[in-house]
Structure 1
């Protein structure tokens, strides 16, 4: 119990440290909020007219749940960059030399980025409401959809933390971006996998982003929904956390002094 207490207490201290950095340097946060809005406007108004929604319906209502999912996926980049920056500047080694819980640094990073994701999701919801998106499910279903989105972000947090600790080089973020972007687009975020070649559609269908997008469309009652994906959307993030959570803590403990 004492170990758990200090893990939570030290983790909250690290979370406040990251929040203080954002308050003093808000530009990266603002850019992170504006970029997905630009994608919504571009796909919703410039390209959406040429995209057919499976089963019919308004394309922007089909798009917004996918965009919610996409912003959760893009969070890997910000987490990775923050972790690699601290590691390259020696900040992480400084923390490791202090009398604090060994997992507090990664727990604090996770807490700060999750709070940031809540803010991003709130802004995206406001953008969606402005362009005509509406949740047509009940209150419980809507809250469940938002819960799945944050669960996915929580899982990607641990992936970003692990990659940041292993790579430990801010210059490698570009390399990771070249992988994240294709994986993000290879999903049902913008179009249905049914419109893709068979083999490519199968890969896109079983993308964790596609599972969450399909589940949230079902819970929101938006066009293009496919039943049966809610359970899969919950299992995928739990598997990612089960794998990359312990790996992240282990990688942090093994960092060279």
Structure 2
């Protein structure tokens, strides 16, 4: 390990990582494996993560299903609303994983684990990338369970398995993008509790001012316009199209006319922006 002089004191400097991009990928996978093993040893983390989305499916399906009419239908139909609803529930589930990602990173920072990682000759961004990849795997497992529950309550896919898999891929891409927002929040607060609160407080307006639960055409004009350009809405709309589920009235806004492309562009933009900010924050926090 290299030794440097700083203000008259001898300080041990972290060894520099070598190996380039391949080494960075390998380091990220090692960190991801560590986080997945931790999740397996604490199954309550996965179980509690499933409870909320399942509750949303049951409550919205049976409490509101017969009262909300999807535009284009002659009357309120619980079955039609369930199919309209499920893409929104899927998207909400993958984005709410943001809070868990932020809390996990904040917990690692609080316990000093990040400092131990820093003493190793590993890529600086690998710690965050590994964490977000592990969260992506957990989110995928959650979606599988949630899809089974959705089928039980009456949700169906009408345009084939391939398109359905493409819809789930868009959902996971959105979830991965939002996990980088969670990583930045986790690095910016002092405790896991603050990371959890900070990861949820902005998600509720984001998910409810969207087309997830009601069509944007039923909102006041200003809110409807915001909902149409909401990255969350683009993924929901694209998923509905790919699942073959009812879409309601689709606005003339570009993201609603090209939802799949808009979903991909929004997700990639969020990943590039917030990964850059999170890695920069990580380097400054551990410097």
TM-score under structure 1 length normalisation: 0.95
How far 1:79 sits from its partner (Å)?
0.4
Between the aligned partners of 2:263 and 2:224, the Cα distance in structure 1 is: 18
Unaligned residue ranges in structure 1 (runs of 5+): none
2-structure distance, mates of 1:14, 1:230: 31
Contact (CA 8 Å) 1:83, 1:168: kept in 2 or not?
no
2:281 to 237, 241, 251: 251
Separation (CA, whole Å) in 1 of partners of 2:109 and 2:228: 36
Query: More helix per residue: 1 or 2?
Result: 1
Query: What is the CA distance between 1:144 and its match in structure 2?
Result: 1.5
Extract unaligned runs of 5+ from structure 2: 1-17, 251-256
SS in 2 for 1:191: coil
The alpha carbon displacement at 1:228 in A equals 2.5
Q: How many residues align?
A: 257
TM-aligned CA distance change 1:242 to 1:114, over 3 Å: same
CA distance in structure 2 between the aligned counterparts of 1:77 and 1:175, rounded to whole angstroms: 7
Matching residue within 163, 171, 186 for 1:149 = 171
Q: Which deviates more from structure 2 when the two are superposed, residues 52-61 or residues 221-230?
A: 221-230
Alpha-carbon distance in structure 2 between the residues aligned to 1:197 and 1:150: 30
Pick the aligned partner of 1:131 from 132, 144, 153: 153
Describe the superposition over 1:206-235 as per-residue Cα deviations: whole angstroms up to 9, x where unpaired: 111111001110111101264531111111
**Farther off after superposition, 113-122 or 5-14:** 5-14
> For the residues of structure 1 that align with 2:202 and 2:122, how far apart are their CA atoms?
34
Q: Distance in 1 between matches of 2:55 and 2:19?
A: 47
Counterparts of 1:171 and 1:138 in 2: how far apart (Å)?
A: 42
Whole-Å Cα distance in 2 between the matches of residues 76 and 175 of structure 1? 10
Asked which structure has the greater RCO (Cα within 8 Å, sep 6+), the reply is: 1
Tell me what 2:109 maps to: 87
Runs of 4+ in 1 over 4 A off after TM superposition: none
Q: Give me the TM-score of the superposition, normalised by structure 2.
A: 0.85
| Matching of residues 1-257 of structure 1 within 5 Å | 2-56=19-73, 58-172=80-194, 173-224=196-247, 226=250, 227-257=257-287
In structure 2, how many angstroms separate the alpha carbons of the residues matched to 1:219 and 1:256? 43
Contact 2:96 2:200 in 1 (8 A): no
**RMSD value, Cα:** 1.6
CA distance in 1, matches of 2:169, 2:42: 29
